[in-house]
Each structure stands twice: as structure tokens, then as C-alpha cells.
Amino acid sequence: MPLRQFHSLSQLIDELLEAVCVVDRQGVFVYLSPGAQRVFGYKAAEMRGRNMLEFMHPDDKDRTLLAVNDIMAGQVKTEFENRYIRKDGSVVHLQWSARWSETEQVRVAVARDITSHKQVLQQLQHLAFYDCLTGLPNRALLMDRLQQGLARCRRENRVLALCFVDLNKFKLINDQHGHAAGDAALCALATALKTALRDTDTVARLGGDEFVVLMDCQNAAEVAPVLEKLTQACQLTFLWQQQSLPLEASIGVALYPQHAVDADSLLCLADQAMFRAKLQWPHLCFAGSVSTDRSEK
């Protein structure tokens, strides 16, 4: 449509997919463009005269008010993000460009709906940090949590237990029952580990049949009962094509700061202890003497 057919600037604004909003010093909407209904789900008339905080996601209010103070102090915000609650109760993710008009004593802002963009980012982040088979954190996320756990334990004088868990005779399951059965066995073990542990613990899959458990504890005495549950969880059966197949896993444990103080050393010592655990019952061994015989795997 030729530009000359628009008779005023307001008609141009009405055609925008974004919402143009004008808010007074108290945070009350004094103007909203028709695009507000696409963004917020409310008609402009339903929002006009009401405070913006009435529509905002409660978890974002404090952060938004800090940004409002910056804007009213003269800063121009071009990519500020927060969430609002739409009329139908759904959450919309918004990206704002805003500035303060000292002359008119209002904030002028444009809101763009970035909900779909956020959903795509969340999916990509999940693929980057979680194992696609078991849904557990992968190596990348494990290492991040391990570094955070070590930093917290150093600050608070706590104990971090790193457990290397390996499914015994996994190759035999694949050879006798097929790789689908092997995948089912890994998922069964993952579920058993998650169920046995505390919400504060981390269970991750490194790859293949190798898992790692992180347990942040007040002291070494707190580790023992959690390890007992972990050991029991590693002895289970799972149903495959109407057959009950037994599973068992070996566990190697290394403690910060007793056995090592850095991430790589803890992983290495726990891995070595796990291979020693395969030779004993129950299949649990703490870091100590090194064994290089891995023929039992």
C-alpha cells in the first residue's frame, strides 16, 4: 500500500507488529498502540490507566524496576527482556527498547514478542547440555556443575563426593539382546540413580555406559548413607521383551578434599576406583591404590 494512503503517523504505528507503549512516572499506561493486543492479549483500552506491574510476571518485577530507574536517569535501553502474563494466562517473553522523555515526563517503549525465539534457544540449550537418550546432564553440564560444586565446597568447608558409575557387562547385553536392549538398560539405570539420590545431587551420563554422580555434603559422615542408597540402586532388574534382565553397576568414589582438590584429578581417581570395584562385592571402592587392569569391563 503506498505511503501516501496513510493519513497520519498514528496509522503507521497501528500497522506495527510490536506494541508501542507510553507509561507515566508512576508506571501507569497512558497509551498503547493496537499492536498491544497481539503482544499482551489485551485490547489497548483494557490496559490503559492500569499499572504495568499488574500485567508483569512476578519474578521479573524487581529486575524491571531497576531498569526503569536507569531509564528515568537518562539511559536508553534497547534490548531489555522480561515477561508478562497474557490475558489467557500464558507467559509472553518481551524485548523492550525504551527511553525517558523529560519534556513529557513519560517513558516511551516498544515491546517485541520473542517467545518463539526463547523456545528455540531453550531447545538448543537442552541439546547442548543434556544426553538425548537418558535426559541426564551430559559431560559439558557435569563439568560446569563440578567446578561450581568445588568452588562452593572450598568456600564453605564442605565435602564433595564424585562417584564414577559403570554398568557391568554392558557389551554382553548388547550382544545377546541387541542395542535397543542396551539403550533400555541405560535408561533403567539412569532412572534408578535419579530416584535414589537427593534433589541436590547431580547424575550425569558421560557417554556409553559411564555415569557420574556428584554429592555435595556437609562432611564425610553424610556421604555414607547416600552411597548406601546409590549402591542399592545399582543392583536392579529391567523388563525387556517380557524378560527380567538383571543389571549391576560398579562405583568408584573420590572425595574432595580427602583424595583430590581439582576436577580432573577427582574424575581420574574415581575412574580408577571404579575399575577396582569391578573385582569385589559390593561393587564399591574408594580412591586409593591404582589398578590398570580393565579386562573385567
Q: What is the pLDDT of residues 171-203, one digit of tens each?
A: 999 999 999 999 999 999 999 999 999 999 999
Question: Which CATH architecture fits 3-118?
Answer: 2-Layer Sandwich (3.30)
If residue 78 lies in a helix (H) or strand (E), which one and from where to where? strand 77-85
Entry pTM: 0.72
Confidence of residue 75 (pLDDT cuts 50, 70, 90): very high
Q: Which of 209, 216, 264, 271 is catalytic?
A: 209
Q: Measured between alpha carbons, how far is 201 from 212 in angstroms, rounded to an integer?
A: 11
Q: What is residue 117's predicted lDDT score, i.e. its pLDDT?
A: 92
209 catalytic per annotation: yes
Coil/strand/helix, residue 162: strand
- Residue 50's alpha-carbon distances to 29, 32, 42, 204, 295, in angstroms, are 6, 11, 12, 47, 72
pLDDT band, residue 281 (cuts 50/70/90):
confident
Q: Specify the amino acid at residue 116.
A: S
What's the topology of domain 130-286?
Answer: Alpha-Beta Plaits (3.30.70)
Write down the mean pLDDT value for the chain.
90
| Cα distance between residue 211 and residue 191, in whole Å | 12
Q: Is the pLDDT of residue 16 over 60?
A: no
Q: What is the mean pLDDT of residues 67-94?
A: 96
pLDDT at 140 over 50: yes
**Which pLDDT band holds residue 34 (cuts at 50, 70, 90)?**
confident
pLDDT at 99 over 70: yes
CATH 3.30.70.270 in the chain, residues? 130-286
Longest dimension (CA), the chain: 86
